[in-house]
Amino acid sequence: MTLRGSLVRVQSVPPLMKQKIFTNCFLVKTDETGAVTEICLAMKKRGFGVGMWNGTGGKPNEGEEIEAAARREAQEELGISIKKFDKLGIINFTLRQEDKNVQMHSYLVLDWEGEPQETEEMLPKWFKSTEIPFDQMWKSDREWLPILLKGKKFVATYTYACEGGEVETREITEVTSF
C-alpha cells in the first residue's frame, strides 16, 4: 500500500476486512541525557479506544499525508502544535470480532508549542515514565511503547479477538528505517 510519500507494508488482510490508517503521537519530556522522564497520555473520551489512555492521533483525511494528519490531530485533540517529532513505529492491529485491521503510525514528540488541553475527545495527563498506567491501556502497549520511548524504530503486528481484549498473536521487529 502506498500512502503519499510513505511506502508501508501491511500484513495480509482478508478481503472483507475493513482497513484503517491511524496516527498516534506521544509527547515526552526528557532529562539532560535525552532519556524520557515524563509522557503525556490522554484518556480517550469517545470513539475507537474509549476509556483507555493513549497518545493523541487519528485518521488522515482524504489525500492528507500521514505526518500532516498527526500534526492536525495533535492540534485538534490537545490544542498543541508539533514542532519536532520522530516516526518510530508502524503497528498493524487486527481486531477479529470487529472485522477490522488498523495500521498505526507512532511518533515520539520532542518539541511542541502550547500546553496539552482537555477537548471533547481527549483528557491529557502527564505521567512519570516509571508510572505509565499500562493496566488502563491497550494490552500490546506494554510491549511496544517502551521501545518507542527508547527512541528505537520498530514494526509490529498484533491480533486481538476484540477491541480492548487480550493479545492473541504478536510480532515485534526493531528496524533501522521504514
Residue carrying the nine cell digits 476484540? 162
**Structural domains of the chain, count:** 1
Note the pLDDT tens digit of each residue in 91-116: 999 988 888 899 999 999 999 999 99
86 touches 108 (CB < 8 A): yes
- Higher-confidence residue of 12 and 170: namely 170
- Higher-confidence residue of 74 and 2: namely 74
Lowest mean pLDDT among 10-19, 46-55, 156-165: 10-19
Residue 8: inside a domain: no
Phi–psi pair at 158, nearest 5 degrees:
-130, 145
- Cβ within 8 Å of residue 165, ≥6 positions away: 97, 139
Q: Is 8 a residue whose pLDDT tops 50?
A: no
Mean pLDDT along residues 38-46: 95
| pLDDT > 90 in the chain, percent | 78
d(CA 162, CA 157): 15
Residue 108: DSSP 8-state? E
In the chain, the amino acid numbered 9 is R
Q: Please report how many Cα atoms fall inside a 13 Å half-sphere around the Cα of residue 127, on the Cβ side.
A: 19
- How much is the mean pLDDT over the chain? 90
Residue 91: inside a domain: yes
Residue 11: inside a domain: no
Run of H or E residues at 80: none
Residue 158: inside a domain: yes
What's the pLDDT score for residue 7?
38
What's the pLDDT score for residue 49?
79
Residue 26: inside a domain: yes
d(CA 8, CA 21): 11
* Distance, first Cα to last Cα, the chain: 13
Mean pLDDT along residues 133-161: 96
Residue 93: inside a domain: yes
- Higher-confidence residue of 163 and 113: namely 113
**How confident is residue 1, by pLDDT bands cut at 50, 70 and 90?**
very low
What CATH number is given to the structural domain containing 24?
3.90.79.10
What's the pLDDT score for residue 14?
52
Q: Which residues on adjacent β-strands are paired with residue 167?
A: 160
Residue 7: inside a domain: no
Task: Domain of residue 63: give its range.
Answer: 17-175
Which candidate, 85, 95, 107, 109, places its Cα nearest to that of 154? 107
114 touches 76 (CB < 8 A): no
Note the pLDDT tens digit of each residue in 65-93: 999 999 999 999 999 999 999 999 999 99
Residue 1: inside a domain: no
